[in-house]
Amino acid sequence: MNALLAVVLAIFQVVHANGLADSSHSAFLQRLSSAAIERTHHVVRYDSAYVRIPYPNGDVPAATGVCTDEVIRSYRAVGVDLQRELHEDLVANFAAYPNQRRWQLAHTDTNIDHRRVPNLMVFFSRKGDALLITARAEDYAPGDLVTWDLGGNVPHIGIVVDQRAGSGRYMVVHNIGQGPKMEDVLFSWRITGHYRYFGPNP
């Protein structure tokens, strides 16, 4: 009887822990969605120029940026520094990232590595959850990260948020050239990645 009770208690503890994790993850994704929406109130001139920035917690000038900068700024608003997190994984796993074969780089660069969509795709796959790419809008939830190929192998990234368009789909916050916007663009281009990332493990 004692052995059976111990097994039941162990199962309860696992279920309870999973429930707490799910609740914590849901709250995190909601905060990330809200942070992304808040970014749409900022005026940002699209500028992909290479800029030297501090490390960690470095950022390009607030009035400039590209699609990745909106993701970086949204995560930073909820306490996650993607510049540092990606750099640390890149240092330890340089060959897993496309720096060398895509940009002919033989070393890391904290000014730009985290601002490149292909690097973020590898990072989110390694440190987060790589989710299925589907044509079903209901498979994409607030807080999810989506990457696209705009054509000609030009990558793009945005954050799904908890505001619905007239189509019924959740909208996406992204910067494709006009600053951070919230738009119904989930299926506007070919999706190349679908991720959830909750920040570094405690």
Quick check: 61 and 78 in contact, CB under 8 A?
A: no
Residue 184 has φ and ψ, to the nearest 5°, of -90, 75
Q: Poorest-confidence range of 38-47, 118-127, 193-202?
A: 193-202
Cβ proximity of 11 and 18 under 8 Å: no
Read off the pLDDT of residues 120-178 as tens digits, 9 standing for 90 and up: 999 999 999 999 999 999 999 999 999 999 999 999 999 999 999 999 999 999 999 99
Instruction: Give bridge partners of residue 146 from the DSSP assignment.
Output: 158, 194
**Mean pLDDT to the nearest integer, 175-197:** 98
Q: Tokens standing for 48?
A: 């992909």
* E strand or H helix that includes residue 125: helix 117-127
pLDDT at 100: 77
DSSP letters, 93-117, are: TGGGSTHHHHH--SS--TTTGGG-H
User: Whole-model pTM?
Assistant: 0.88
**Nearest CA among 191, 190, 173, 171 for reference residue 181:** 173
Report the residue count for the chain. 202
The answer to whether the CB of 55 falls within 8 A of the CB of 83 is: yes
